[in-house]
C-alpha cells in the first residue's frame, strides 16, 4: 500500500522572497525590527539577531520557516519573532499544514533543492524552483510524526539553554575568583600537555564513529581516533573557538589539543575562553589570521586557592559534557528516524 505522495511546495505553503532595505537603515538598536540578510547567523533551530532595520521591506512572521536561497542554498531555520528578511532568504508559511511539520518535510527533501542551485560565483535558487520543488509527504500520521520530531528538537534546544547557563555559572565563579585574587595564575603549559591534530579536512567521514574537531564551530565525524582523553580544543585560525570533550576523538592539523593534568579540566577551558577573546584582536598573519603553539602554551590560567571552588567548576563542566552527549544522541535519533518516518518506512504508534 502506498504510504506517501509527492506534492509541490506551492500546494502546501506560501513563499515570500526576501528584499533587502538599503544599508543606511541598518542599526544595532534592538528597538527597530530584527533583520536577517542570509543564513550566516542561523542556529540549529532559530537564528541569532545582531542587526536591526528602521525600514521594513519583506517580513517573515513568527514561526515562519526561513530558507537560504543563496549559497549555502537550503539552510533552514525558524523565525522566533517577526523579522525583516533580505534577498538571501525566503519565508515559507503553511497553508493547511503547521509550519513545524513542513519544516521536517523540507529537511527530508532539501537535497532536491540544493541540486538545482545555479550560478557561477554565488549559487542561488529562483522563486519558481522553490515553489515547484517536489516534496515527499506521508499519507497518514503527519501530525504524529511532526509532533514526535518536534519534541526531539525542543529537547535539544532546552539542553542547549541549560548548557549556556552552566557555562555562564562557570565563567562567573572563575572570573569572581580572579577579581578577588583567591588563587594564582599559571601558564597552560604548566598544567597540560599541548599538541595539535595531524589530519587534514579530508579525514572527515559522513557516518564516522568518532568526533573530528576542526577550526569550524561544527563538530564532524571520522572513522579513527588519535586521542582518548579529557581535552580542550582550540581552533588555530578563524574565530579561535574553544570546545571541550571527554572520550575518543581526532582533530584537524590546525586545531590545538590541550590535555589537562589532574583536576584542571574546567579552569583550562575557562582560561582558554578568556585568552581567545584577546587572540581575536591580536592574532598573527595578514590574510588568514592564526595563532601559534607558543600562543596556546602561554595562555594564563587561574587556579583557585579553595579546592571546593575547583571541584564545583569541574562538576559544572561534567554536567555540561553530559548534556552535550545527550544532545548528540538526540541528533542521531532524529537524523536516523526523519527519512524513515517521512518515507513511510517507519510509523508512529497510535
Output the pLDDT for position 38.
Answer: 94
pLDDT tens digits, one per residue of 114-139: 766 555 444 788 999 999 999 988 87
Q: What is the mean pLDDT of residues 5-33?
A: 94
Q: Answer for the pair 215, 238: CB distance below 8 angstroms, yes or no.
A: yes
Q: What is the mean pLDDT of residues 178-198?
A: 97
Integer Cα distance of 1 and 135 in angstroms: 19
SS3 124: strand
The CATH fold assigned to 151-332 is Adenine-n6-DNA-methyltransferase TaqI; Chain A, domain 2 (3.90.220)
Q: Which of 132, 89, 93 is nearest to 113 (CA)?
A: 132
pLDDT tens digits, one per residue of 292-308: 999 999 999 999 999 99
Between residues 207 and 17, the one the model is more confident about: 17
Q: What is the mean pLDDT of residues 187-212?
A: 94
Output the pLDDT for position 120.
Answer: 43
The sign of the torsion formed by the CA atoms of 285, 287, 290, 292 equals negative
Q: What is the mean pLDDT of residues 194-214?
A: 93
Residue 177 has pLDDT above 60, yes or no: yes
The verdict on whether omega for the bond into residue 259 sits within 30 degrees of 0, i.e. cis, is no
pLDDT tens digits, one per residue of 236-293: 998 899 999 999 999 999 999 999 998 999 999 999 999 998 888 766 654 457 899 9
CATH of the domain spanning 4-139: 3.90.220.20
pLDDT band at 149 (very low <50, low <70, confident <90, very high): very high
Q: How many CB atoms lie within 10 A of CB 85?
A: 27
Query: What are the structural domain ranges in the chain?
Result: 4-139, 151-332
> What is the average pLDDT value for the chain, to the nearest integer?
92
The DSSP line for 258-270 is EEE-TT-HHHHHH
Q: What is the mean pLDDT of residues 194-202?
A: 94
Q: What is the mean pLDDT of residues 218-234?
A: 95
Integer Cα distance of 280 and 239 in angstroms: 7
| Same fold yes or no, 4-139 and 151-332 | yes
The cell for 253 is 592539523
Output the pLDDT for position 121.
Answer: 43
pLDDT tens digits, one per residue of 46-59: 999 999 999 999 99
Alpha helices in 118-141 (DSSP H): 127-131
On the 0-12 / 13-18 / 19+ scale of CB atoms within 10 A, 226 is middle
Integer Cα distance of 99 and 77 in angstroms: 11
On the 0-12 / 13-18 / 19+ scale of CB atoms within 10 A, 157 is middle
Output the pLDDT for position 282.
Answer: 67
Q: Which of 276, 193, 189 is nearest to 237 (CA)?
A: 276
Amino acid at each position: 500500500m502506498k504510504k506517501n505522495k509527492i506534492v509541490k511546495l506551492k500546494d502546501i505553503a506560501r513563499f515570500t522572497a526576501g528584499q533587502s532595505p538599503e544599508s543606511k537603515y541598518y542599526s544595532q538598536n534592538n528597538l527597530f525590527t530584527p533583520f536577517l540578510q542570509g543564513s550566516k547567523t542561523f542556529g540549529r533551530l532559530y537564528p541569532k539577531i545582531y542587526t536591526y532595520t528602521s525600514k521594513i521591506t519583506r517580513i517573515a512572521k513568527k514561526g515562519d520557516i526561513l530558507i537560504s536561497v543563496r549559497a549555502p542554498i537550503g539552510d533552514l531555520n525558524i523565525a522566533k519573532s517577526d523579522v525583516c528578511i533580505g534577498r538571501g532568504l525566503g519565508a515559507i508559511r503553511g497553508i493547511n499544514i503547521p509550519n513545524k511539520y513542513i519544516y521536517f518535510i523540507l529537511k527530508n527533501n532539501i537535497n532536491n533543492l540544493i541540486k538545482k542551485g545555479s550560478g557561477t560565483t554565488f549559487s542561488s535558487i529562483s522563486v519558481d524552483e522553490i515553489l515547484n520543488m517536489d516534496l515527499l509527504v506521508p499519507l497518514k500520521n503527519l501530525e504524529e510524526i511532526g509532533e514526535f520530531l518536534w519534541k526531539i528538537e525542543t529537547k535539544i534546544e532546552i539542553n542547549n539553554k541549560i548548557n549556556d547557563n552552566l557555562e555562564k555559572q562557570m565563567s562567573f565563579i572563575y572570573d569572581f575568583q580572579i577579581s578577588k585574587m583567591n588563587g594564582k595564575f599559571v601558564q597552560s603549559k604548566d598544567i597540560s600537555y599541548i599538541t595539535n591534530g595531524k589530519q587534514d579536512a579530508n579525514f572527515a567521514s559522513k557516518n564516522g564513529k568518532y568526533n573530528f574537531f576542526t577550526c569550524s564551530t561544527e563538530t564532524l565525524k571520522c572513522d579513527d581516533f588519535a586521542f582518548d582523553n579529557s581535552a580542550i580544543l582550540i581552533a588555530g585560525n578563524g574565530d579561535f573557538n574553544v570546545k571541550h570533550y571527554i572520550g575518543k576523538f581526532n582533530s584537524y592539523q590546525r586545531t590545538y589539543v590541550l590535555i589537562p593534568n589532574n583536576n584542571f579540566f574546567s579552569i583550562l577551558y575557562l582560561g582558554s575562553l578568556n585568552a581567545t577573546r584577546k587572540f581575536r584582536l591580536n592574532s598573527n598573519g595578514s590574510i588568514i589570521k592564526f595563532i601559534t603553539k607558543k600562543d596556546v602554551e602561554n595562555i594564563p590560567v587561574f587556579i583557585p586557592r579553595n579546592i571546593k571552588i575547583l571541584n564545583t567548576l569541574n562538576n559544572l563542566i561534567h554536567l555540561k559534557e553530559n548534556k552535550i552527549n545527550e544532545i548528540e544522541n538526540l541528533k542521531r535519533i532524529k537524523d536516523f528516524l526523519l527519512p524513515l518516518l517521512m518515507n513511510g518506512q517507519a510509523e508512529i504508534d497510535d
